[in-house]
Structure 1
């Protein structure tokens, strides 16, 4: 069997890759030039191929191990690897985003240089944070306006309670003077969207990461999948995860949260409630979220927004 060369593994741009894998109770290894995972059954073992050239990140859950040779191949393909708890949450350690990033120092420098050109100015960071929130709202409006599956469950962008939630936030953005004010206003919008979603799905709901009900579990699970896309976007563009514009700047992975927020409300939020109502399994929910990420080109959208932000002040002052 022919082995793959590193140059072949980068044929699919990260922004176009479709796969995120969550694995548990298996061993990840390299065999015949491929990355496989091995599951042990009572009478025989099963090998499954991981298409690493079309994969953004891999989450290794309970009972997993990975070989050095497999890590080398994953790194050559630019695949991020994260260790996590059961059901893909939380990433270890739980309070931060922890990824094993491929060691590649030959990525573009223009984006990190553009990012750092404004990052040390608090007011400029606020401008970028506001722009992220505006784009977040636009993404909600775009998807909730045209997704017929969401419409079947009553999620329409122009419904009074939904439009009021994001319009109220949108109107406040230009008047906000600090990141803390922006965080509070953003949290209020998300809380209103939770209420709208719970009403449509006839669920009693209060956001609690430790609650253990399906809606909360699916929100946690979907958010961590979004963090995987955010971490991949930042790694490819060469921007360290610590240079956040909105979330706590003392948290090493805070910029991952900023970038993931661009898509979480639009995709993860409604489907967490819908799948909870329909009593999906974790695997069924994960497949639905990954399908929607691909359908609405979530990774492309993240790349576009981060690249635009890194060049924002350079363009304005050129």
Structure 2
């Protein structure tokens, strides 16, 4: 029992690591979780610091042992199987994630969530609150991030301030979730247009199936954000199906709602910057993870979900 307590010593909201692995075998050895890469001349073992890890994505050519899964579960690490480059996400378990098994999840947050969830008006109010928080996070991150400014992405650009101010006003005017989704889609298109123009990729069109770098990085980065969102909801004990915006057709939609809090602020600009610079997937992923940590993305997700779960009706 002492070992399990030690593994969970770092709060999930403070953990720094997400791993995407491919062409390797994940295993337990000498009380640690390692991944083994096989080459022609030698096999190499690499340690995974599981107590400081939130998510592991297992890509093509991977396998994992039962002993490793047991240790990952004890440390509260989510594991997802995915295709090459981190997408698409799939596994044979509930929703998309192999969540650690624990009957000791908090109950206050799911109880608070269900108090409002069955009321359409209250659910819409939470959706609006998430969207306002999303706007404020974009403003905060883009205003603070010197590297974004060095890439000529400025929060005080008239195109951005106009788009965000207009969306903030339209949020409050929305009478149903469909209105909110429609206006959200318009904002995202405006942000894509701005980032594409700034990085000299004006021909960009968002297509999840496209093979160009910008679309590929957007897909990849979004799945990193989904991992953080899934971790947040698992820790707080809220099932992924109780969405406030995206839940009409996808039972794991609350993951998308929570990931949207940070995607535009971090993933969107760096996908375009990385595409312009033709960086590798690994370099792009490391940049995203660094920015998640720098701007306390996971802390922000926890803060917003807890605030809405405990809101007064």
1:98 pairs, out of 86, 96, 99, with 96
**Does structure 1 conserve the Cα–Cα contact (< 8 Å) formed by 2:241 and 2:247?**
no
Q: Which runs of 4+ in 1 moved over 4 A?
A: none
CA drift of 1:153 comes to 1.4
User: Which residue number in structure 2 is paired with residue 290 of structure 1?
Assistant: 289
- Residues matched between the structures, number: 311
User: Which residue number in structure 2 is paired with residue 304 of structure 1?
Assistant: 303
Q: Secondary structure at the match of 2:90?
A: coil
Q: 1:4 to 1:34 in 2, by over 3 A?
A: farther
CA drift of 1:139 comes to 0.2
Q: Secondary structure at the match of 2:124?
A: helix
1:134 pairs, out of 115, 132, 135, with 132
User: Which residue number in structure 1 is paired with residue 113 of structure 2?
Assistant: 115
Structure 2: how far apart are the matches of 1:4 and 1:20? Answer: 25
User: Which residue number in structure 2 is paired with residue 200 of structure 1?
Assistant: 198
Structure 1: stretches of 5+ with no match in the other structure: none
Structure 2: how far apart are the matches of 1:4 and 1:99? Answer: 27
Structure 2: how far apart are the matches of 1:4 and 1:165? Answer: 52
Cα RMSD of the aligned pairs, angstroms, is 1.4
Structure 1: how far apart are the matches of 2:151 and 2:53? Answer: 31
CA drift of 1:4 comes to 7.9
Alignment map for 1:67-82 (pairs within 5 Å): 67-82=65-80
Structure 2: how far apart are the matches of 1:38 and 1:256? Answer: 31
Question: Residues 123-182 of structure 1: CA distance to partner in whole angstroms, max 9, x if unpaired?
Answer: 100000000000000000001112111011111111011111111100111111000000
User: Which residue number in structure 1 is paired with residue 169 of structure 2?
Assistant: 171
CA drift of 1:250 comes to 4.0
**Does structure 1 conserve the Cα–Cα contact (< 8 Å) formed by 2:192 and 2:268?**
yes
**Does structure 2 conserve the Cα–Cα contact (< 8 Å) formed by 1:97 and 1:256?**
no
Q: 1:97 to 1:211 in 2, by over 3 A?
A: farther
Structure 1: how far apart are the matches of 2:2 and 2:21? Answer: 23
Alignment map for 1:1-318 (pairs within 5 Å): 5-92=3-90, 97-203=95-201, 204-313=203-312
Q: 1:97 to 1:214 in 2, by over 3 A?
A: farther
**Does structure 2 conserve the Cα–Cα contact (< 8 Å) formed by 1:23 and 1:59?**
yes
Q: Secondary structure at the match of 1:306?
A: helix
Q: Secondary structure at the match of 1:58?
A: strand
Q: 1:251 to 1:93 in 2, by over 3 A?
A: farther
Structure 2: how far apart are the matches of 1:294 and 1:249? Answer: 32
Q: Secondary structure at the match of 2:225?
A: helix
Structure 1: how far apart are the matches of 2:2 and 2:22? Answer: 26
What's the TM-score, normalizing by structure 2? 0.97
Q: 1:239 to 1:144 in 2, by over 3 A?
A: same
Structure 1: how far apart are the matches of 2:144 and 2:17? Answer: 24
Q: Secondary structure at the match of 2:270?
A: helix
Structure 1: how far apart are the matches of 2:142 and 2:46? Answer: 36
CA drift of 1:279 comes to 0.5
Question: Residues 171-214 of structure 1: CA distance to partner in whole angstroms, max 9, x if unpaired?
Answer: 11111100000000001001000000001000020000011100
CA drift of 1:92 comes to 1.1
Structure 2: stretches of 5+ with no match in the other structure: none
